[in-house]
Amino acid sequence: MTSLTLYTKIETLPADLKAKAKSFIEHLMEKSVENKNNDQNQRVEKRSFGSLKGKIILSDDFDEPLEDFKEYM
């Protein structure tokens, strides 16, 4: 939707609905600014290779066939 069509639709609204539309647009603009600020604050540090070393542990028999599937092998 272009700005012109949006403006045309807003112009056809009664005064009370124009006020609600204005309020809603201001709310969206505030939320946009908040989201932009949150995105900048939540930037994650670059992860380095091996940063999870020792945090994930696999059992010794991880590659062994499962008992449940013996009939299919």
Map out the domains of the chain as residue ranges. Answer: 1-35
Residue 23 tokens, joined: 């309020």
Task: Please report, for residues 60, 62, 64, the alpha-carbon distance to residue 73 in angstroms, rounded to integers and kept in the order given.
Answer: 21, 17, 13
pTM: 0.48
Per-residue pLDDT at 42? 66
In this predicted structure, the answer to whether residue 43 has a pLDDT above a threshold of 70 is: no
Cα four-point dihedral sign 5, 8, 13, 15: positive
Per-residue pLDDT at 53? 87
The angle formed by the CA atoms of residues 43, 46 and 50, to the nearest 5 degrees, is 140
Over the chain, what is the mean pLDDT? Answer: 86
In this predicted structure, the answer to whether residue 1 has a pLDDT above a threshold of 90 is: no
Name the pLDDT band for 52 (thresholds 50, 70, 90): confident
